[in-house]
Amino acid sequence: MSLDHPLNSLGFAKPPSETRVVVAMSGGVDSSVVAAQLAEEGYDVVGVTLQLYDHGAALAKKGACCAGVDIHDARRVAEEMGFPHYVLDYENIFQDAVIDEFADSYLAGATPVPCIRCNERVKFKDLLETAKDLDADCMATGHYIQRKVGENGAELHCAADANRDQSYFLFSTKPDQLEYLRFPLGHLPSKAETRALAAKYGLSVADKPDSQDICFVPNGNYASVIEKLRPGAAEPGDIVDTDGNVLAQHNGVIHYTIGQRRGLGIGGLADPLYVVKLDVDKRHVIVGPKDMLATRKVPVREINWLGDGGFTDLSERRVGVRVRSTRPPTEAIIRPISDTEAEVELTIAEEGISPGQACVFYDLDSSRILGGGWIWRGY
């Protein structure tokens, strides 16, 4: 192919028919639209769906991805659009790379975000390597995020629709992975546009509800999953105040999270109490007034830097940070300790920050994601 051939929509200097793209298909409307659109544009599309856990028990479960019904839906879309589709058994990889760490970190009093680890360790690692083994030029997903090419290579940018933006869950994407990945939905102004495209292509999943839960946590009940994964984990203990005075009993630290107010079983107090700390070794749920939840200094490790230059080139950087997926970025200062560790100081204190959550960095002057890391302890 001549070098002066115009770039196609995926950024390659050759016709779509000579460009192979593996589409990671969850069975939902987003990835189905990506696959259908690329197939219609004439790309050599290969659909791949991962079986991540025993879907036999999840066939009737709605609101989560990668269950048996989702595999069926992905296969059906491939048949409708006329491209090959494969199902890969990743149960063991998913168990080792995601579920076990989720259980252990939850037992340690953290609030894990397993969807980030799944993207990092399964979809953008093993599946991406599989795409390369299939001689694909790139891998496309249905994530709402944008990939733009800057002076120093591929950059990660927030989705055009702030309500759908998934940057919090993708901060750990490595630069070399970003070179290979494509996100065709990131520029769309709303989810309504995606559903309109699904209807245009006549896809059977056009009206399928969005996934809500973590795929292996039915109905958002973390504690029940932990009890199955780690029998005996729900050992009773004491609910204590910050001076160690016993106020009540609980039936397992795994039933509580930082910032929780309801369900403590402590009544008759003038001011409400909140969970401010979990001491797993002592089996203590420590409660205190709301102002104890406010945090300005956040220790972060396992940092993945996506900005220009080295992370430690500057002694401090002013950025936007997001410490939970449901809140917009807030202004902060990052002070690097090493290439993978830093102290983040928030301009305005946030409540309920917990170890195990992600801290994602944003450029204050653009839509670019600069990376992020994991919150690992409180001060």
Catalytic residues: 118, 215
Q: Please list, in sequence order, all residues whose beta carbon lies within 8 angstroms of the beta carbon of residue 3, skipping any fewer than 6 positions away.
A: 13
Query: CA 130, 94, 302 angle in degrees (round to 5)?
Result: 90
Q: How many residues does the chain have?
A: 379
Residue 357 burial class via C-beta count within 10 angstroms: exposed 0-12, middle 13-18, buried 19 and up: buried
Whether 49 and 88 have beta carbons less than 8 Å apart is answered as yes
Whether 67 and 229 have beta carbons less than 8 Å apart is answered as no
CA-nearest of 327, 331, 328 to 317 is 331
CA-nearest of 357, 309, 293, 301 to 334 is 301
Say what angle helices 29-40 and 68-81 make with each other, to 10 degrees.
20
Other Cβ atoms closer than 10 A to 176: 11
Whether 324 and 316 have beta carbons less than 8 Å apart is answered as no
Beta bridge partners of 335: 343
Query: CA 26, 28, 32 angle in degrees (round to 5)?
Result: 85
